[in-house]
A and B are shown apart, each in its own frame.
Chain A
Amino acid sequence: MNALFSLVSALIAVVALVVVSWFGVEAIGLDSVFGVIIPYIALAIFVIGVVYRIVDWARVPVPFRIPTTCGQGKSLPWIKADNLDCPYNTWGVIGRMFLEVFLFRSLFRNSKAELREGPRVTYASAKWLWLFGILFHYSFLIIIVRHLRLFMEPIPSFVQTITSVDGFFQIMVPTFFITDILFLAAVTLLFLRRVTLPQLRYISLPADYFALFLILGIGISGVLMRNFFKVDLLGVKSLAMGLFTLHPVAPPGIHPIFYVHLFLVSVLIAYFPFSKLMHAGGVFLSPTRNMANVNRSERYVNPWNYPVKVHTYEEYEDDFREKMKEVGIPVDKE
Chain B
Amino acid sequence: MDLHDLPKPQDLMNINLNKPPETGWMDNPAVFRDGTYSYPAAGKNLKRLGMPNPREWAPTDQDWKLPDNWQEIILKGMKERLEKYRSFRLFMDICVRCGACADKCHFFIGSGDPKNMPVLRAELIRSVYRNDFTLLGKMLGRFGGGRELTIDVLKEWFYYFFQCTECRRCSVFCPYGIDTAEVTMIGRELLNLVGLNINWVMEPVANCYRFGNHLGIPPHGLIDMWEFMADDIEDITGIKVNLPINKKGAEILFVTPSGDYFADPGTYTCMGYMMLFHELGLDYTWSTYASEGGNFGLFTSHEMIKRLNAKIYAEAKRLGVKWILGGECGHMWRVVHQYMETMNGPADFLEEPVSPITGTKFENAKQTKMVHITEFTSDLIKNGKLKLDPSRNDKVIATYHDSCNPARAAGLLEEPRYVIKNVVNNFYEMPENTIREQTFCCGGGAGLGNDENIEMRMRGAFPRASALNHVVAKHDVNRLLCMCAIDRATLTALTHYWAPDVMVGGIHELVANALIMNGEKDRTVDLRGEPLGDEEEDE
Most chain B CB neighbours (cut-off 10 Å) among A104, A200, A204? A200
Quick check: is A170 within 8 A (CB to CB) of the other chain? no
The dominant DSSP class at the B interface is helix
The residue on B at minimum CB distance from A316 is B289
A69 touches B174 (CB 8 A): no
B42 within 8 A of A: no
Closest chain A residue, CB of each to CB of B17? A115
Using known A-B contacts A68-B409, A203-B97, A323-B219, determine if residue A106 contacts B338 with beta carbons closer than 8 Å.
Answer: no
The B-contacting residues of A in range 176-212, CB under 8 angstroms, are: 197-208
> How many residues on A have C-beta within 8 angstroms of the other chain's C-beta atoms?
102
Instruction: Check A109 against B176 for contact (C-beta < 8 Å).
Output: no
A-B contact count (CB 8 A): 326
Q: How far does the Cβ of B318 sit from chain A's closest Cβ, in whole Å?
A: 6
* Distance A325 CA – B247 CA, assembled complex (angstroms): 14
- A107 and B175: CB pair below 8 A? yes
In the docked arrangement, what's the CA distance between A133 and B314, Å?
Answer: 50
Assess A299 versus B367: contact at CB under 8 Å? Given A60-B86, A107-B100, A327-B219.
yes
A23 to chain B, nearest CB (A): 24
- Is A131's beta carbon under 8 Å from chain B? no
Chain B positions 79 through 96: 1 when the CB is less than 8 Å from some CB of chain A, otherwise 0 = 000111111011001111
Given contacts A79-B414, A121-B462, A129-B98, contact A206 B145 (CB under 8 A): yes
Complex contact B177–A289 (CB within 8 A): yes
- A173 near B: Cβ within 8 Å? no
Instruction: Report chain A residues within 8 Å CB of B94.
Output: 276, 278-279, 282-283, 286
Inter-chain contact B20/A64, CB cutoff 8 Å: no
6 A-B pairs with least C-beta separation: A73-B411, A69-B411, A282-B94, A288-B177, A119-B13, A289-B177
Q: Residue B248 at the A interface, CB < 8 A?
A: yes
Give chain A interface residues in 65-108, CB to chain B under 8 Å. Answer: 65-66, 68-76, 78-82, 85-86, 100, 104, 106-107
Q: Which residues of A contact B (CB under 8 A)?
A: 1-3, 5, 9, 53, 57, 60-66, 68-76, 78-82, 85-86, 100, 104, 106-107, 109-115, 117-121, 123, 129, 133, 197-208, 274-276, 278-279, 282-283, 285-289, 293, 295-302, 304-305, 308-313, 316-317, 319-320, 323-324, 326-330, 332
Sample 30 A-B pairs with CB under 8 A, ordered by A number. A2-B22, A57-B89, A62-B86, A63-B84, A63-B342, A68-B409, A70-B408, A75-B412, A76-B379, A79-B378, A107-B175, A113-B17, A114-B17, A119-B12, A120-B469, A120-B470, A121-B463, A121-B466, A203-B99, A203-B120, A203-B123, A279-B96, A283-B94, A286-B90, A286-B94, A288-B177, A297-B365, A299-B345, A300-B341, A316-B210
> Does the CB pair B97–A204 fall under 8 Å?
yes
Binds A, one of B134-142, B157-165, B485-493, B506-514: B134-142
B413 within 8 A of partner (CB): yes
**Do A86 and B411 touch across chains, with their CB atoms under 8 A apart?**
yes
Residues B117 and A199 in contact, CB atoms below 8 Å apart: yes
Which one of A115, A293, A320, A332 contacts B220 once the chains associate, using CB atoms below 8 Å? Answer: A320
Q: How many residues of chain B get a CB closer than 8 Å to chain A's CBs? A: 125
* Shortest distance from the beta carbon of B351 to any chain A beta carbon, whole Å: 14
Contacts of A110 in B (CB 8 A): 100, 173
A313 touches B289 (CB 8 A): yes
Interface check B375, CB cutoff 8 A: yes
* A300 CA / B288 CA spacing, docked (Å): 29
State whether the Cβ of B27 lies closer than 8 Å to any Cβ in chain A. Answer: yes
A197 to chain B, nearest CB (A): 7
Please determine whether B171 and A112 come into contact, CB atoms closer than 8 angstroms. no
Q: Is B360 an interface residue (CB 8 A)?
A: yes
Given contacts A71-B411, A76-B360, A311-B210, contact A9 B143 (CB under 8 A): yes
User: Chain A residue with minimal CB distance to B348?
Assistant: A299
Contact partners of B379 in chain A: CB under 8 A:
76
A206 CA to B177 CA, complexed, in Å: 24
Identify which of residues 56-106 in chain B touch chain A, using a CB-to-CB cut-off of 8 Å: 82-87, 89-90, 93-100, 102-104
B177 and A68 within 8 A (CB): yes
